[in-house]
Amino acid sequence: MTYRSDAAALSAKSAGCFQACTPSFRAHYARPSNLTIHTTMADITTSAADKKEKEYFTDVPQQAPGFFLKGSHQYDWGLKNRLSKVFNPKDGRTVMLAFDHGYFQGPTTGLERVDQTILPLEPYADCLMLTRGIQRSIIPASTQKAIALRASGGTSMVSPFEEWEGEIDGRKAKFGRPGFEPLSNESTALNIEEAIRLNASLLAVQVFIGSAYERQSLKNLTDLVDAGARYGIAVMGVVAVGRAMARNAQYFRLATRIMAELGAHVVKCYYTDEGFETITSCCPVPIVIAGGKKLPELDALKMSYNAIQQGASGVDMGRNIFQSEDPVAMMKAVRGVVHEGLTPEQGFAMFNDLKGK
């Protein structure tokens, strides 16, 4: 009995199958009898001179650098990549331009024509905070800026509220009873599929700690955190402060910590003149400050500078930019303070130099 190798047996079997085919099939696919194939080892073996020697770097341990953002080292690659578009990896800071006010205020001062006001500012922002309607209708799809998409809403400035008499800055005023803010009755305003379609890096959701709708707004936050986690999209919890709520360090320590504990990747809150460093210290994720009401340019720059010095990872300004005497000059001055280490006075000098040019 003769034993053949598996390769020889397979070759013989293949030849037998070929012979079993129809004559026309064999005639079409058979090798021409006059065809000669010449193969040498040089054809299949690269010479030692031409071959690049492999480098395994056995003496160099693989680097495993931590991510540059506070509290972000455990995130998935895609989420980190999106956050690195919001925050500059060189310094871990951001200048966000907020112009989502129209979702409850309508055409507020400075945003009557978003195309005229905001588009000249777009080149100087790291991230644009906006609604999906403005993103689709105004912002060019060619923008390279990160998108922070407003993801909660449902009420407006004209929402009715119960009367309650109290004080604002020591003056009598009438507004909803303590803890009752009609604007706090928000729901999620888009789903995760829409956020993906709009290529959002960050979803912004308002949270009303201490209001009548605290539970609902926290549920909005956690629902978006869960949805975003499936696709690597970050969520920013925005501390909303009603007219009857105190803006002090104790309140912001509570609000920012709650949102971080419930999964927010970034938190936005107001700056406080006293104790702001305690807010950033006990919040395990990056904090960016809200600009709030319009301030004189030097005061806004001082607020930005102090916040950065006390642990903030950036600013998310709106009215202090687009309501400025010269929005582009102010935008550049804020960038100078946040990213270039300018003092408020240096930033203000930059503003004055650029103003009107």
Q: List residues bridging with 146 in a β-sheet.
A: 127
What Rg value do the Cα atoms of the chain yield, rounded?
Answer: 31
> Both tokens of residue 122?
């777009």
Which residues in 252-351 belong to E strands, given as ranges? Answer: 266-269, 287-290, 314-317
268 catalytic residue (yes or no): yes
CA distances from 309 to 268, 273, 339 (A): 16, 12, 12
Q: Please name the helix (run of DSSP H) or strand (run of DSSP E) that holds residue 164, with its range, or none.
A: strand 164-168
The single residue of 80, 145, 268, 332 carrying the catalytic annotation is 268
Contact 168, 117 (CB under 8 A): no
> Both tokens of residue 74?
């455990």
**Closest Cα partner for 280 from 246, 256, 303?**
256
**Sign of the Cα pseudo-torsion (133, 233, 204, 323, in order):** negative
249: left (phi over 0), alpha (psi -120 to 50) or beta: alpha
Cβ-count burial of 271 within 10 angstroms (0-12 exposed, 13-18 middle, 19+ buried)? buried
> Both tokens of residue 289?
């400050």
- Kindly give the interhelix angle for 327-339 and 344-354, rounded to the nearest 10 degrees: 150
Q: How far apart are CA 27 and CA 32, in angstroms?
A: 9
Contact 326, 294 (CB under 8 A): no
Contact 95, 313 (CB under 8 A): no
Q: How far apart are CA 318 and CA 96, in angstroms?
A: 9
Pairing of strands 94-98, 314-317: parallel
Which are the catalytic amino acids?
268
